[in-house]
Amino acid sequence: MPTQYFAQQHPEYDYYWNWEMDARYTGHWYHLFDKVASWARAQPRKELWERNARFYVPDVHGTWEDFKHMVRVQTEIGTNSPNNLWSAPRPGQDQSSGDKARLHQQGDKAVWGPDRPDERDILEVEGEGIPPTTMDKDRYDWGVDEEADLIVFNPLYDPEGTSWLLRDDVTGYNKDNGMPPRRAAIITASRLSRKLLHTMHQEMVHKRHSMFSEMWPATTALHHGFKAVYVPHSVYIDRRWPTKYLESVFNAGRNGASGGARTSIFGDREHNFRGTTWFYSAGFSPNLWRRWLGYKVDNDGGELAELAGEGRMCLPPMLLHPVKDVEMIIDDGAKEGE
């Protein structure tokens, strides 16, 4: 991972932003970085991994406090979602019930501190996220005003049981008792701390551990109890979806999360991202970027349309990905043939 190597060569930095070359932003980058970092810093650790695993849809979930409460209930009690039938059983889950539907309607164990792999794969490092108290005693205090070691822009979902092609791209771990616990965030755009990158390096050097690039930072943070935060941001869609249906499609995993089940949007159902502004296979983002620059796209927009209408398109700040092969037309006043 180039960012990992760069951090080893330049330890003078506390945090490293990793951006894919085809990502764009219609607002001010400094404003984005500042707000993202401050929001992540304010997030408490309690049920953070569980909130990270879900798309936040305000029209369905209500306020952020409402969303936090919903995630807590879904985690503790579980849901009766039929998607659970397509999920993999969790470690420690009661398997005694003969009723398959009831078996899959159980809650999940919330992540609290490091979620370790097989004991033969454990590598303890300095600064691990050991909770100061039990989860029951914590009042959403732990983690507040703590800088995030990992900030991402898509949910940190559990790939276990999904149809994501790279879910098993895991190297060096003992798999006698199954795959290690892991998390992934599609699109590698992220902020990573020096501590996280150094730990990833240590895992590679001493344990020969590695995973696919969109799974490796998040899983390292999970194993060592580091603070990882998915920052919800405005994602736009090229059509009007009923928001309740949209939420059920994007959070179609286990117990209302985006991952952990065959029905997850990450995998065979990724075509639902085609009309969005933020995914590696999105088709709306490049079209919107070109229209914003004044180009004609699919017979819409362009200079004549702007002159006849209300002028150049005005957009709110939004992240766009992917945007490729956009060449600016430069009119230097020269006539054709000169």
* Residue 178, domain member (yes or no): yes
Residue 160 sits in the same domain as residue 308: no
- SS3 for 249? helix
* Residue 6, domain member (yes or no): yes
Mean pLDDT by 10 residues, the chain (338 residues): 91 96 97 98 98 98 98 91 71 56 74 96 94 97 98 98 96 94 97 98 96 98 98 97 96 95 96 98 95 85 79 92 80 61
* Residue 257, domain member (yes or no): yes
For residue 102, the model assigns a pLDDT of: 58
Residue 192 sits in the same domain as residue 45: yes
First to last CA, the chain: 48
Integer Cα distance of 66 and 61 in angstroms: 7
* Residue 337, domain member (yes or no): no
Q: What are the C-alpha distances in Å from 163 to residues 93, 150, 167, 222?
A: 22, 25, 8, 21
For residue 53, the model assigns a pLDDT of: 98
Residue 47 sits in the same domain as residue 146: yes
- Our measurement of the distance from residue 107's CA atom to the centroid of its chain's CA atoms, rounded to an integer in Å, reads 22
Give the pair of three-digit tokens for residue 307: 């002159």
- Our measurement of the distance from residue 8's CA atom to the centroid of its chain's CA atoms, rounded to an integer in Å, reads 25
Residue 266 sits in the same domain as residue 279: no
Residue 238 sits in the same domain as residue 309: no
* Residue 110, domain member (yes or no): yes
- Which region, left, alpha or beta, applies to residue 337 given φ > 0 means left and ψ of -120 to 50 means alpha? left
Residue 136 sits in the same domain as residue 214: yes
For residue 89, the model assigns a pLDDT of: 65
Of 222, 147, 150, the C-alpha closest to 191 is 150
Name the domain boundary from 272, 293, 309.
272
Residue 161 sits in the same domain as residue 302: no
Residue 188 sits in the same domain as residue 253: yes
For residue 23, the model assigns a pLDDT of: 97
Integer Cα distance of 115 and 156 in angstroms: 14
Q: What are the C-alpha distances in Å from 295 to residues 129, 209, 287, 289, 329?
A: 49, 46, 9, 9, 9
Name the domain boundary from 272, 299, 329.
272
Residue 268 sits in the same domain as residue 185: yes
For residue 86, the model assigns a pLDDT of: 66
Total domain count, the chain: 2
Q: What are the C-alpha distances in Å from 91 to residues 106, 155, 178, 285, 292?
A: 12, 22, 10, 39, 49
Cis amide linkage into residue 242, ω under 30° from 0: no
* Residue 336, domain member (yes or no): no
Residue 254 sits in the same domain as residue 303: no
Q: What are phi and psi of 89, to 5 degrees?
A: -60, 145
Q: What are the C-alpha distances in Å from 42 to residues 20, 38, 52, 183, 251?
A: 26, 6, 14, 22, 24
Residue 9 sits in the same domain as residue 121: yes
* Residue 253, domain member (yes or no): yes
Q: DSSP label at 124? A: -
Residue 227 sits in the same domain as residue 302: no
For residue 96, the model assigns a pLDDT of: 57
* Residue 57, domain member (yes or no): yes
For residue 271, the model assigns a pLDDT of: 97
For residue 204, the model assigns a pLDDT of: 95
Boundaries of domain holding 204: 2-89+101-272
Name the domain boundary from 272, 290, 309.
272
For residue 332, the model assigns a pLDDT of: 60
